[in-house]
Chains A and B, each alone.
Chain A
Amino acid sequence: AQKVTQAQTEISVVEKEDVTLDCVYETRDTTYYLFWYKQPPSGELVFLIRRNSFDEQNEISGRYSWNFQKSTSSFNFTITASQVVDSAVYFCALYNQGGKLIFGQGTELSVKP
């Protein structure tokens, strides 16, 4: 069975702080894909980053970076130098090889000026 757990329900930081959002997943597939999406107050879901299970390295994209650890089934997402516009709900999601996409419960991030 597939499952995605985001243990942090809400996080509050002050602007310019770094913040890490945690995600733990469960799957029996050997090939799978992990994503982070952002849902701002307007409601639309915005794709941020993806990671394939067979990728070797973690990456950085602008102020976003992610840490994929297969050994602990974790896919944590870090925003560096947070900004007020980063305030949103962030969802971690897992795709299996068959294409079924499951989301975690989301973490609400509040960045205060």
Chain B
Amino acid sequence: GAGVSQSPSNKVTEKGKDVELRCDPISGHTALYWYRQRLGQGLEFLIYFQGNSAPDKSGLPSDRFSAERTGESVSTLTIQRTQQEDSAVYLCASSSRDRGLWTEAFFGQGTRLTVV
């Protein structure tokens, strides 16, 4: 596709349920990022995939959070046993190298997660 696509755009879930958020990066982009943005706050880094390297999971807030990426395509962020503090917009971005330089990151529209 032309841009980064995230689904669903909105998700309301009950506390304790598991949720899966999906990100389709721009075709050919080797790098993929997940961020969390709580209301009125900045972008909190969660996880970063780069090609076939081991992902950088240093931002995942707890073991309830996990993410996978198949090759250089789709990524899924899974939150198990959701809590109310997980309510936020989850943003996905992708980027690539162009003649050795990283391009800017292109962002999806985000998934607004509400845990009730």
Which residues from chain A sit less than 8 Å from chain B, CB to CB?
33, 35, 43-45, 47, 50, 52, 91, 93, 95, 98-106
Q: How many B residues, CB 8 Å from partner?
A: 23
> Are A98 and B50 in touch, CB under 8 angstroms?
yes
Kindly list chain A residues whose C-beta atoms are within 8 Å of the C-beta of B109.
43-44
Distance of A66 Cα from B31 Cα, bound (Å): 26
Determine if B91 and A45 form an interchain contact, defined as CB atoms under 8 angstroms apart.
yes
Closest A residue, CB atoms, query B97: A99
Q: Mark B96-115, 1 if CB is under 8 A from A, else 0.
A: 01000110111101100000
B48–A100 CB distance below 8 A: yes
- Let me know if B102 and A95 touch, CB within 8 A: yes
Q: What A residues does B45 contact at CB under 8 A?
A: 100-103
Contact B101 A52 (CB under 8 A): yes
Q: Which residues of B contact A (CB under 8 A)?
A: 31, 33, 35, 41-43, 45, 48, 50, 56, 89, 91, 93, 95, 97, 101-102, 104-107, 109-110
Main DSSP-derived SS at the B contact region: strand
Contact B104 A100 (CB under 8 A): no
| A99-B95, A103-B43 known, 19 other contacts, Cβ within 8 Å | A33-B102, A35-B104, A35-B105, A43-B110, A44-B109, A45-B93, A47-B105, A47-B106, A50-B104, A52-B101, A95-B102, A99-B97, A100-B45, A101-B48, A101-B93, A103-B35, A105-B41, A105-B42, A106-B42
Contact of A91 among B33, B43, B104 (CB under 8 A): B43
Which residues of the other chain, A, contact B31 by a CB distance below 8 angstroms? 99
Pairwise interchain contact A44-B93, C-beta atoms closer than 8 A: no
Question: Smallest CB-CB separation from A50: which chain B residue?
Answer: B104
B42 lies within 8 A of A101 (CB): no
